[in-house]
Amino acid sequence: MTDLAMRQQRHEASPAPSGASASRAAEAAQADTTILEARGLHTHYGSSHILHGIDFAIRKGEAVGLMGRNGMGKTTLIRSMLGLVRPSDGTVRVRGEDMTRAPTHRIARLGIAYVPEGRGIFPNLTVRENLVMAARAGLDGRREWTLERVLGTFPRLAERLTYGGGQLSGGEQQMLTIGRALMTNPDLLILDEATEGLAPLIVREIWEVIRTIRDTGIATVVVDKNHTAVTALTDRSVILVKGHVVFEGPSAALRDDPELVQKHLGV
């Protein structure tokens, strides 16, 4: 009998994994693909209980829409997962590692970039300085998002390289914030209200850029009030109501359920 035949015979004779072993294997496989995960997350602001046992996860290359009316806990969830707010209970894992108590800079170094509501650019630095200061290789050493690529994606920024961040329009500042996040070569990009308060023409441009980013394989979490645009762009959608998940499923299913949209997202 050949060595190959003997190995095949041993493999066929080996017992199937037990239920517990299979479960551990499945969890390990999921950990390999899950970038960011929250389990049973509770967050308080003082005596106000904002998040009530939230489960949330995003996997490699996935686009997820996070929606809900104002004050429902969307930004609190993001900030709790990124270490900007300390959860009162539950766990946050990044690539399978417990990071519940980790500082924000450690979480960011694991390939996660955040475009916050309100942009947060440095107004006293030039456009070039805002971008270059954030530049670093991704976790695997890749540098796909260079200054040249960001400027090619946002031609307006190329025209304003020497402008101070405070001299830019609101739309240009948003482009700068997204470009700065891309300069970190992330595996996950979280965008919190990236189109809020912008002119319609700029909004369309921002959505096209987000689509381009998603198509490059970067996982994305998109928080936005425009549920039509969000569901058209994402694979899954999650809706929060008063700190509880009331819907989680394929974005296509949400698009096809106008009654659910009106109930939880309508004005």
Domains of the chain and any CATH numbers: 62-87+99-111+187-265 (3.40.50.300)
Name the 3-class secondary structure at 24. helix
pLDDT at 32: 66
Using the predicted structure, report yes or no on whether residue 7 has a pLDDT greater than 60.
no
> What are the tokens at 103?
């500082």
Name the 3-class secondary structure at 246. strand
What's the CA dihedral at 58, 84, 92, 251 to 10 degrees? Answer: -20
pTM of the model: 0.86
Sign of the alpha-carbon dihedral angle for 133, 138, 141, 146: negative
Using the predicted structure, report yes or no on whether residue 3 has a pLDDT greater than 60.
no
CA distances 2 to 8, 13, 108, Å, are: 10, 17, 52
Mean pLDDT of the chain: 89
**Once rounded to an integer, what is the mean pLDDT over residues 212-230?**
94
Convert the pLDDT of each residue in 133-151 to its tens digit.
999 999 989 999 999 999 9
pLDDT at 119: 79
Q: Report residue 186's pLDDT band, with 50, 70 and 90 as the boundaries.
A: very high
**Once rounded to an integer, what is the mean pLDDT over residues 147-168?**
96
> What are the tokens at 264?
């939880």
For the chain, the straight-line distance linking the first and the last C-alpha, in angstroms and rounded, comes to 73
> Pick the residue with more confidence: 242 or 119?
242
Of the candidates 64, 16, 23, 101, the one whose C-alpha atom is nearest the C-alpha of residue 231 is: 64
Asked whether 120 and 104 are in contact (CB, 8 A), the reply is: no
Using the predicted structure, report yes or no on whether residue 25 has a pLDDT greater than 50.
no
